[in-house]
Every structure is written in structure tokens, then in C-alpha cells.
């Protein structure tokens, strides 16, 4: 994973060996990437953080909003969660898009279901 990310980003720091924080160098929409690992050092989640002033991504660009579980904290915070069911040989995943803007996300995560 690190070799692939090193082609398009720079490792900023590692936190307790279970999370890496990367700065993305050439992505017009996302500026940072967080990669979390489980105890066996397999990727558990990846979170992309929107680049300030960069190309914006709508929640609806991720997937159909009608298929998401939506949370809205008084209009100040928006979160959409999609659940991808496990396959025969693949684990299930959550896809999470969240932010303060009602149309554009601030972060986008893919997280393995436990």
C-alpha cells in the first residue's frame, strides 16, 4: 500500500503504527488520505479528506442517496452511509460521506465491516 501511495503522495506521519496520514500531491479534489490498519496490518479503512478550495464532490456522486442511511444534525452536519453486503469471498463494507455543506462532502471513507 505504501509503495502505491508514495507515487501520488507523501507520508506525513504514522500514529501508533495503525494509522498513516498522507498528503496527496496531484489530486484536484482530495488533499489528504488516512489509512487505518487492523492488528494483522491489513487495511481496515481509508478516508479521503477534501482539498480546501479544490474540486468539490457531491454526496450524490458517491451513490444514490435514496440507498443511504442519512443523518442530519440540525442542518449543520450531514452524513450518508451505504452498506455493501459481504460476498462469498469478500467482506462487507461501509461507504461514508460526510460534511457540513448540504450538497458537498468534506470526507469520504470506505470501512470494512467487522
Who's near 49: CB < 8 A, 6+ residues apart? 30, 31, 32, 33, 34, 106, 107
Reported pTM = 0.88
Structure confidence by residue, pLDDT tens digits, 26-72: 899 999 999 999 988 889 999 999 999 999 999 999 999 999 999 98
Tell me how many domains the chain contains.
2
Rounded to whole angstroms, the Cα distance separating 60 from 64 reads 6
pLDDT of residue 60: 96
Query: What is the percentage of the chain residues whose pLDDT exceeds 90?
Result: 67
**Whether residues 66 and 88 fall in one domain:** yes
**Whether residues 31 and 1 fall in one domain:** yes
Mean pLDDT across the chain, nearest whole number?
A: 91
**Whether residues 72 and 46 fall in one domain:** no
Range of the domain at 8: 1-55
**Whether residues 18 and 46 fall in one domain:** yes
Among 15, 37, 55, which residue terminates a domain? 55
**Whether residues 1 and 47 fall in one domain:** yes
Amino acid at each position: 500500500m505504501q509503495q502505491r501511495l508514495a507515487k501520488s503522495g507523501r507520508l506525513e506521519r504514522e500514529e501508533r503504527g495503525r494509522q498513516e496520514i498522507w498528503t496527496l500531491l496531484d489530486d484536484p479534489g482530495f488533499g489528504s488520505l488516512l489509512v487505518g490498519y487492523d492488528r494483522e496490518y491489513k487495511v481496515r479503512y481509508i478516508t479521503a479528506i477534501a482539498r480546501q478550495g479544490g474540486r468539490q464532490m457531491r454526496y450524490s456522486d458517491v451513490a444514490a442517496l435514496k440507498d443511504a442511511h442519512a443523518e442530519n444534525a440540525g442542518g449543520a452536519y450531514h452524513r450518508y452511509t451505504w452498506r455493501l453486503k459481504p460476498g462469498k469471498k469478500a467482506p462487507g463494507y461501509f461507504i461514508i460521506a460526510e460534511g457540513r455543506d448540504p450538497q458537498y462532502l468534506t470526507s469520504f471513507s470506505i470501512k470494512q465491516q467487522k
